[in-house]
């Protein structure tokens, strides 16, 4: 292991523990963990629970997730156990109760593990804005948000300074998982080892401070700030939090963290800090910290005047004639329908104004539930609707797939169950869970699975 890396560890751990950590990074088995989607009815295989996340579970062995219909249907997310801890921080900071209308910004969100966790916590009570500045990564993030299907998330692709300028003081919670030197991923990634250097550590620390400062501006006074990295060194972790607390008005938040979890606790200014070391905890390396934004003012700032309006209203008559309003189960949730070009989207009514505000200021890649597209008087449902937790299954004829046809569908191949399908649009199920749409046309099927979602194994 790099000698410079060893020297940095001496700032964090006693010599005996450094040896144990290095051994864990070199040879300890990598645990596999998943997090269930509480908005979908999937029961995970038996496994040990992740102590700090009641939706998290360790698996005895790593299956082929790509070939698992429940993964493709959004029944669970494959997330490293340590990274689930940010959900515990949020629960604790909120006092175990999510307020109505909460707005949460996940600033560096791809590929979506933490965003989908925040989405589950916020649920129907608020809105998550998941931002990723790198476009290709943002598209992956969009796919995972669609698969998760809660409908409370807006995926954006903007530089952090855009939030500081356009949505200053607008969010109740801002979470920043900054790009880092990746020391916590050494066990999983040979590339992380090869790219590591002291120069990169210093570069990442400086970049982290820039992102932190701009993210801070988008947080309202009294709001919650969560900072995380997947690295061990002090420069990118405690030093950055001490810098934040020296530059900004920060207040301490008390966090319960049982000793039996074996998470190392430190302090940086007013920030409570937490280290996950693979020789202590069952997971990869992680650092997380939390503070509250101080200040004399109360409440949120108002959003600035709209820069654009990407939406057009959907006429009530159109909703009725196309049957769109029946595609979502609205007994416990009311939706606002809006159009972007020929595409129709649905948003929880209580949070529509927040979604519109973000769309008026930012570059939005996906939001809400994409119900489908209009082609003249014909309507084609979207894959997002099939995976939505709000889908009204009774609006479509359904067909339970065999394992063979489930894999055929994921490969966008012809299904063998054509004879059992109704003419037109059918909702396909895998062990009771919606997997997607197909259209029967006579003796063949046209898959509505997006081409970019096709699997090749």
User: Number of structural domains, the chain?
Assistant: 1
Q: What CATH code is carried by the domain that includes residue 423?
A: 3.10.450.720
Q: What percent of the chain has pLDDT over 70?
A: 99
Mean pLDDT throughout 236-258? Answer: 97
Query: Would 328 be classed as within a structural domain?
Result: no
Ordered DSSP codes for 9-72: HTTTS-HHHHHHHHHHHHHSPPPEEEEE-TTS--PPPS-PBPTT-TTEEEESS---GGG-HHHH
Using omega within 30 degrees of 0 as the cis cutoff, is the peptide bond preceding 337 cis?
no
Query: Is residue 195 very low, low, confident or very high in pLDDT (cuts 50, 70, 90)?
Result: confident
CA distance 9 to 6: 5
Strands 219-229 and 171-177, bridge-based pairing: parallel
Q: Considering the domain boundaries, does residue 412 fall inside one?
A: yes
The verdict on residue 437 lying in a domain is yes
| Average pLDDT score over residue span 380-406 | 96
**DSSP reduced 3-state for 373:** strand
C-beta neighbour count of 162 within 10 angstroms: 18
Position 377 pLDDT exceeds 80: no
- Residue 11: inside a domain: no
Count of H-run helices and E-run strands, the chain:
14, 22
Please report whether residue 452 resides in a domain.
Answer: yes
* Residues 326-341, mean pLDDT to the nearest whole number: 87
Cα angle: 408, vertex 411, 413; to 5 degrees: 55
Looking at residue 1, its pLDDT comes to: 63
The model's confidence at residue 298, banded by pLDDT at 50, 70 and 90, is low
Domain that holds residue 406: 397-457
Q: What is the pLDDT of residue 43?
A: 80
Domain membership of residue 413 (yes or no) is: yes
Alpha-helical segments (H) within 300-430 = 316-322, 352-361, 383-387, 403-410
454 inside domain: yes
Handedness of CA 134, 137, 143, 146 (dihedral sign): negative
CA distance 118 to 125: 12
- What's residue 319's pLDDT? 82
Exposure class string for 293-322: b at 16+ Cβ within 10 A, else e: beeeeeebeebeeeeeeebeebeeebbeeb
Contact between 232 and 206 under an 8 Å Cβ cutoff? The reply is no
**pTM of this prediction?**
0.95
pLDDT > 90 fraction of the chain, expressed in percent and rounded: 81
Question: What token pair was written down for 91?
Answer: 């629960």
Mean pLDDT, residues 169-195:
91
Q: Would residue 258 count as lying in a domain?
A: no
């Amino acid at each position: 292991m790099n000698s410079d890396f060893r020297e940095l560890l001496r700032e964090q751990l006693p010599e005996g523990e450094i040896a144990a950590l290095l051994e864990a990074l070199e040879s300890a088995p990598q645990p596999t963990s998943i997090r269930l989607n509480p908005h979908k009815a999937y029961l995970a295989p038996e496994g040990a629970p992740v102590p700090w996340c009641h939706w998290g579970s360790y698996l005895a062995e790593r299956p082929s997730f790509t070939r698992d219909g429940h993964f493709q249907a959004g029944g669970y997310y494959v997330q490293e156990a340590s990274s689930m801890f940010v959900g515990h921080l949020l629960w604790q900071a909120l006092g175990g109760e999510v307020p109505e209308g909460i707005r949460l910004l996940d600033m560096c969100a791809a590929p979506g593990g933490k965003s989908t966790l925040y989405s589950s916590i916020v649920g129907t009570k608020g809105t998550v804005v998941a931002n990723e500045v790198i476009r290709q990564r943002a598209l992956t993030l969009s796919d995972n948000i669609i698969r998760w299907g809660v409908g409370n998330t807006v995926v954006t692709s903007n530089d952090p300074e855009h939030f500081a300028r356009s949505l200053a003081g607008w969010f109740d919670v801002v979470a920043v998982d900054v790009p880092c030197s990746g020391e916590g991923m050494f066990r999983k990634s040979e590339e992380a080892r090869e790219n590591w250097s002291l120069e990169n550590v210093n570069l990442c620390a400086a970049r982290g401070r820039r992102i932190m400062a701009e993210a801070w501006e988008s947080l309202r006074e009294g709001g919650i700030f969560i900072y995380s990295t997947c690295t061990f060194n002090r420069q990118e972790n405690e030093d950055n939090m001490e810098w934040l607390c020296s530059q900004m008005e920060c207040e301490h938040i008390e966090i319960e963290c049982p000793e039996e979890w074996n998470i190392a606790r430190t302090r940086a200014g007013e920030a409570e800090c937490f280290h996950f070391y693979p020789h202590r905890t069952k997971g990869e390396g992680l650092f997380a910290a939390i503070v509250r934004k101080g200040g004399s003012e109360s409440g949120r700032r108002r959003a600035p005047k709209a820069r654009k309006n990407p939406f057009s209203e959907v006429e009530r008559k159109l909703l009725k004639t196309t049957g769109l309003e029946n595609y979502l189960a609205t007994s416990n949730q009311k939706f606002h329908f809006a159009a972007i070009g020929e595409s129709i989207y649905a948003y929880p009514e209580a949070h529509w104004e927040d979604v519109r505000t973000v769309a008026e200021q930012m570059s939005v890649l996906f939001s809400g539930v994409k119900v489908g597209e209009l082609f003249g008087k014909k309507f084609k449902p979207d894959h997002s609707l099939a995976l939505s937790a709000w889908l009204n299954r009774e609006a479509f004829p359904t067909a339970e797939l065999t394992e063979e046809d489930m894999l055929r569908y994921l490969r966008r191949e012809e299904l063998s169950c054509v004879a059992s399908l109704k003419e037109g649009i059918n909702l396909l199920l895998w062990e009771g869970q919606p997997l997607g749409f197909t259209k029967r046309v006579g003796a063949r099927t046209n898959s509505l699975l997006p081409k970019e979602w096709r699997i090749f194994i």
